[in-house]
Structure formats: structure tokens, C-alpha cells
């Protein structure tokens, strides 16, 4: 196979995996710092990735139009409730493709207990490696480094295990 065909087949596999809700995990061989991004939450003061240091953070790029995103939201909420008191934070980032009114309505109807931000410009998605598929989830350690990236539905047992490890004294 030539290199162009291999790249095209790989790209197609990622798109199909995301569309099917299949998990694609990026295991980072070198833990890299999360990009410095300023978020505009629906409620409260603006925040940044550096402002979240000291906590284990789940950053989830999602959309109200995304069936797998909506389907996984109860797991995002349950994970937040399980670990929040111990120094865990969740930031759900609605992509630029989402309608801000739909996001606000979803947050209200589902009483989401964590921070929700709008990425109307797409700057946050670009900074996090040009996120194009929702859901895409990043787990950050207390130092603000990306531990894992999940494209499609995340592996929740693995996330819980990683969060437990990172929150351990």
C-alpha cells in the first residue's frame, strides 16, 4: 500500500469509530502538558487550564446534537459526584457546532453539577489537538498534564482507576 492510502484508511477508521461510539484511546507515551486555554463557562467566572491545576480534571468535548455524548452524560455526572469532594473537576466543553441555547437548556434540564463551557470560536478544540469528533475526553493530572485522551465513548472503569490513582495521598 502506498502512504496516502494508509493515511486515508487510518483517518476513515477514526471517523467510523467515532460515529459508532467505539472507544479509541490515545495512550500518550510521553505525558504532555495540557494546552493553556481560557474557557467561558455558562455560569461563573472565566477559567483556564492552568487555573484548574491542583485537581484531577476531566475535559469533555461534547454536543447536545451528539447521541453518544448525551447517552454518556449520566456517567460523567456519576463520576463527578463520586470524586468531586476529593479534588476532581469536570469541564464539559460544548463545541462550536452546538447552539448555546440548546446547551443552556440541556444543562438546566439535567442539572449538570459541574462546569460547562461554550467553545463558540473552536479555539479550545484546536488547542487540544484539533478535536473534531465528539465525544472526545481528556483526563488531566494535578499538574495539568494529559494522562489519557479518549475519542468516542471513554472507558469509564479505566477513568475511575486513573482518578483513584491520581487522587491517592
CATH number at residue 65: 3.40.30.10
| Bridge partner list, 150 | 25, 137
Q: Report how far apart, in Å, the C-alpha atoms of 56 and of each of 70, 101, 120 are.
A: 23, 29, 25
pLDDT at 164 over 60: yes
What value does the mean pLDDT take over residues 81-90?
98
What pLDDT was estimated at residue 113?
97
What is this structure's pTM?
A: 0.82
Residue 61 near residue 136, CB atoms below 8 Å: yes
Residue 167 near residue 86, CB atoms below 8 Å: yes
The structural domain count of the chain equals 1
The pLDDT confidence band at residue 169, using thresholds 50, 70 and 90, is confident
What's the domain range around 102?
A: 3-167
Residue 18 CB neighbours (<10 A): 21
CA distance 145 to 155: 19
Amino acid at each position: 500500500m502506498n502512504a496516502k492510502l494508509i493515511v486515508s484508511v487510518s483517518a476513515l477508521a477514526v471517523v467510523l469509530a467515532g460515529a459508532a461510539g467505539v472507544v479509541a484511546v490515545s495512550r500518550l507515551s510521553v505525558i504532555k502538558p495540557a494546552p493553556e486555554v481560557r474557557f467561558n463557562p455558562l455560569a461563573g467566572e472565566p477559567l483556564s487550564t492552568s487555573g484548574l491545576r491542583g485537581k484531577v480534571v476531566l475535559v469533555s468535548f461534547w454536543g447536545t446534537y451528539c447521541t453518544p455524548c448525551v447517552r454518556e452524560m449520566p456517567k460523567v455526572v456519576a463520576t463527578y459526584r463520586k470524586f468531586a469532594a476529593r479534588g476532581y473537576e469536570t469541564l464539559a466543553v460544548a463545541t462550536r457546532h452546538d447552539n448555546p441555547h440548546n446547551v443552556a437548556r440541556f444543562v438546566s434540564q439535567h442539572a449538570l453539577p459541574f462546569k460547562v463551557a461554550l467553545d463558540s470560536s473552536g479555539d479550545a478544540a484546536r488547542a487540544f489537538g484539533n478535536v473534531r469528533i465528539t465525544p472526545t475526553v481528556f483526563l488531566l493530572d494535578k499538574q495539568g498534564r494529559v494522562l489519557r485522551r479518549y475519542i468516542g465513548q471513554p472507558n469509564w472503569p479505566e477513568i475511575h482507576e486513573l482518578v483513584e490513582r491520581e487522587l491517592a495521598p
